Amino acid sequence: MQQRFHTLVLGAGAAGLFCGARAAGRGLSVCVLDHSAKPAEKVRISGGGRCNFTNVDTKAANFHSENPHFAKSALARYTPWDFCDLMAKHGLSWQEKTLGQLFCDQRSTAVIQLLLDELDSAGGELRLSTEVSGVQHRDGRFVVETSAGEIEADNLIVATGGLSIPKIGASGFAYELARQFGHEVIPPRPALVPLTFTGAAKDNFAELSGVSCPIDAQARRGPEFHEAMLFTHRGLSGPAILQASSYWRETESVGIDLAPGWSVRDELKTAKADTPKINLSTWLARHYPARLADYMLTWPGMPADKQLANLSGADMEAADQALKHWSIKPAGTEGWRTAEVTAGGIDTNGLSSQTMESKHVKGLYFIGECVDVTGWLGGYNFQWAWASAAAAASAIDADRAA
C-alpha cells in the first residue's frame, strides 16, 4: 500500500473530498483519509436529504468570524455558479427554494457520488475507517501516524470539520492539530442550533410545541433575520431562531418582532374603526395561530382582553410594545447534538486568506468548517467548504512533489 503522497487530506467531508479531487486534478498524488466508515455523512443528512449545496447570494456578509474579511478572497474565486457547473457536468439539477438557497433535485447522496467520482477520476485515493493518532513535522515533511501505519506527505490539508453532531464522526482533531503547530483557536461553540429554556418559559413553549409563525429575530451581536420561528418541547427553533443562535451568547437576550414588517398600533387602529365589537383575543387569533394568541394574552404588559372599541391609545401602544419587542432569555442551546455548525475555530490570523495555508508551517492548510468562518443557514456553509477547498487545492506547491 502506498504510504507516501504529495498531498494528504485529513477528513473526507465536503471540503476534504473536494480539495482532494481538485489537487489530484492538478496531477498531484493525493490521498484523502477519514476515521469514519462512510465519507461526507453531513452532506448526506444536509438539506433534509436534498443538500442545500450553495446559495446564489453568497457574500462575506453571510458569514461570521473574528475577521469578517477573511472569507472574501476564497469566496470571490470559487462562486456558487462554479459548483452549479460541476453539478450540471454530473447530470445533477437543482432548484432555488427561498432566499437564494439551491437544493439538489436528486438525493443528497448524488452530491457525495459527484465528489467521489471527481476524486476517483482525477486519480486521488480515498481511505476510510483509518484513525489518526498523531502528526509530526520532520525535515519539511508531515508524518501522520494512522491505524494503517505511517503515511508521509509534503503537504497536509486539515479538513476534519468542527464539533457538531459527534455521533456521525465530528471531532476536535483540527483544533488540537492547529494548537500543536502554534495556531490560536477561537473557542468553538454550537451554532445554527435550537435555543432552550427553563422554568415557566419552557413549560409555556412546550404547550405551544409545533406552532410556528414568521418573525424577525435578532441576537445582540448579529443582524436581524426575517424567517419562521417554531415552538418545541425544549424551547424555540425554526430558521429565524437558528440564525440568531449563531450570534447569541450565554446570559444575553434575543429580541423578537412578532409583527415583522407591519405596525400593531396601525392595524389595531384600523380594526378598532372597522370591527369595534370584536375582542382583542379575536383580533390576535386572526393574526396568529390560536394557541399562540391565547398565550400572548397572558403576557405582562399586554392589555386586558376587551372589545377593540374600548382599547385606549395606551392599550394599543402596549400591545405594539409587547408584540414587536418580545425579549426572550434562553437558558442555553441544544448543544453539539443538534447544532448544524460550529462557530469559532482556527483563528484566521494564522492563515493566508488567499491559500488557507498556515503562516507558521509551510505545506499545512486548514479548510472548511474547522476554520473560524461560519455561514448563515441556507447553503453558505457548503459554499465555504467548496471555496476554501478550491483555494487550498490551487495553491499547493507542486514542486514540493513526492
Return the number of other C-beta atoms located less than 10 Å from residue 366's C-beta: 30
- Report, in Å, the least distance between residue 50 CB and ligand FDA: 8
- Report, in Å, the least distance between residue 126 CB and ligand FDA: 11
- Report, in Å, the least distance between residue 181 CB and ligand FDA: 15
- Report, in Å, the least distance between residue 371 CB and ligand FDA: 8
Among residues 46 and 333, whose Cβ is nearest to ligand FDA? 46
Among residues 52 and 348, whose Cβ is nearest to ligand FDA? 52
> What is the 8-class DSSP label of residue 37?
S
Q: Retrieve residue 201's grid coordinates.
A: 418559559
Among residues 11 and 239, whose Cβ is nearest to ligand FDA? 11
Among residues 254 and 341, whose Cβ is nearest to ligand FDA? 341
- Report, in Å, the least distance between residue 320 CB and ligand FDA: 36
- Give me the sheet containing 332-333, strands edge to edge: 326-328, 254-257, 212-219, 225-231, 235-237, 195-196, 332-333
- Report, in Å, the least distance between residue 14 CB and ligand FDA: 4
Among residues 46 and 155, whose Cβ is nearest to ligand FDA? 46
- Cα–Cα distance list, 63 to 118, 170, 333, 369, 379 (Å): 27, 21, 20, 12, 11
Q: Retrieve residue 262's grid coordinates.
A: 407591519
Among residues 165 and 236, whose Cβ is nearest to ligand FDA? 165
Per-position b or e across 10-21, b if 16+ CB within 10 A of its CB? bbbbbbbbbbbb
Question: Which uninterrupted H or E stretch holds 270?
Answer: helix 264-274
Q: No. of H helices and E strands in the chain?
A: 13, 21
Residues in contact with ligand FDA by the rule CB under 6 A: 10-16, 34-36, 41-42, 45-47, 51-52, 132, 159-161, 164-165, 169-171, 173, 340-341, 368-369, 379-382, 385
The residue number with the shortest CB distance to ligand FDA is 13
